[in-house]
Amino acid sequence: MARAKTNIKFQLRSVNLEAGRPSAAQAITRMNQAVASARASGTKAIKLIHGYGSSGKGGVIRQEVLRVLAEKKKDGTIRDFVPGEEFSPFSASCRKALNSLPELSHDQDYSRGNKGITIVLF
């Protein structure tokens, strides 16, 4: 007997760093907690929602998130990260992420150029 196909949608766990309008330091603390928790639980990836800033130039939280993630990648805490504007098949870093976790392409922000998010891989 053939198995019925199931239509299970991929759900990437999201962490909203900008909820409650925190300072950049508070948002980074929230991010560090989320990264530690995800890593400890064996999660393969999370989506950080940090916003893009009301000025249109990129917010302080976004800048700090990307800076801290670069440090975490360098020290081996995370495997990699993909800023939202690179979360598409046209980005080498995203294609690399998709090779290890193809389900990422099913996320609602895939190929949308959303500068307010970043995907973190463990």
Chain segment 8-38, per-residue pLDDT in tens: 556 799 999 999 999 999 999 999 999 999 9
In 10 A of CB 68, how many CB atoms?
A: 19
Token code pair at residue 118: 């970043």
Q: Give the tokens for residue 120.
A: 């973190």
Query: Is 30 strand, coil or helix?
Result: helix
Distance CA(23)–CA(77), nearest Å, equals 23
Q: Which of 8, 122, 115 is nearest to 61 (CA)?
A: 115
What digits encode the pLDDT tens for the residues 31-86?
A: 999 999 999 999 999 999 999 876 555 589 999 999 999 999 999 999 999 999 99
